[in-house]
């Protein structure tokens, strides 16, 4: 069975920043996926994939305590081309290292404050991450499709109720 990567609920601030970051990634030409577990067992907050196969990982920090107690972020550098921290506007950005990218965001959007250096992900690692991304995204889509079918959704986009009212027997 494919691990679809969902976990315990996030705090409201981190969830909002993840939504804003995802919106920014879409604007940048990336398809975002939240909470992807890598082969190492570490779970990234947001990962994005663009049409050229470039991978971006965004680690969300919602507070000073969150940053100080969680230093696993360096392990993500070997799994992406670009790496960013994303924080809410209330976060003291001086706490963050200056050698990685920085985004500030909320549930409405995000902005790049400092660009990430391109880390040129190794091809074998890229393949591994791409396959995991594809399988998890596909598994999540399958789950959504099954749930939608359970409540009467049809593949042509019409609801079962609308279909019945338009086609009386």
pLDDT given for residue 155 in this prediction? 61
CATH of the domain at 116: 3.40.1350
Residue-wise pLDDT tens digits, 62-88: 999 999 998 889 999 999 999 999 999
Q: How many domains does the chain divide into?
A: 1
Residue 168's pLDDT is what?
Answer: 42
Higher pLDDT pick, 121 / 7? 121
**Alpha helix ranges (H) inside 44-159:** 64-69, 123-150
Q: What is the pLDDT of residues 16-60, one digit of tens each?
A: 999 999 999 999 999 999 999 999 999 999 999 999 999 999 999
Residue 139 lies in a domain: yes
Q: Is residue 2 domain-resident?
A: no
CA-to-CA dists, residue 164 to 48, 134, 154, 156, 161, angstroms: 40, 36, 11, 14, 5
Q: Confirm whether 6 is domain-assigned.
A: no
Q: Structural domain of residue 136, as residue ranges?
A: 12-166
Q: Residue 158 has what pLDDT?
A: 54
């Amino acid at each position: 069975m494919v691990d679809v990567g969902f976990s315990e609920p996030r705090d409201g601030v981190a969830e909002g920043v993840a939504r804003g970051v995802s919106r920014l990634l879409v604007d940048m030409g990336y398809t975002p996926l939240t909470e992807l577990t890598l082969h190492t067992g570490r779970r990234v907050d947001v990962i994005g994939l663009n049409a050229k196969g470039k991978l971006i990982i965004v680690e969300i920090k919602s507070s000073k305590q969150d940053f100080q107690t969680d230093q696993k972020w360096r392990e993500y550098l070997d799994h992406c081309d670009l790496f960013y921290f994303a924080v809410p506007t209330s976060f003291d950005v001086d706490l963050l290292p200056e050698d990685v990218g920085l985004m500030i965001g909320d549930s409405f959007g995000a902005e790049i404050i400092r660009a990430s250096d391109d880390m040129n992900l190794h091809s074998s690692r890229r393949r591994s991450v791409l396959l995991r991304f594809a399988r998890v995204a596909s598994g999540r889509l399958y789950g959504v499709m099954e749930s939608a079918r359970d409540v009467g959704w049809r593949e042509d986009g019409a609801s079962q109720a609308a279909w019945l009212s338009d086609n009386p027997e």
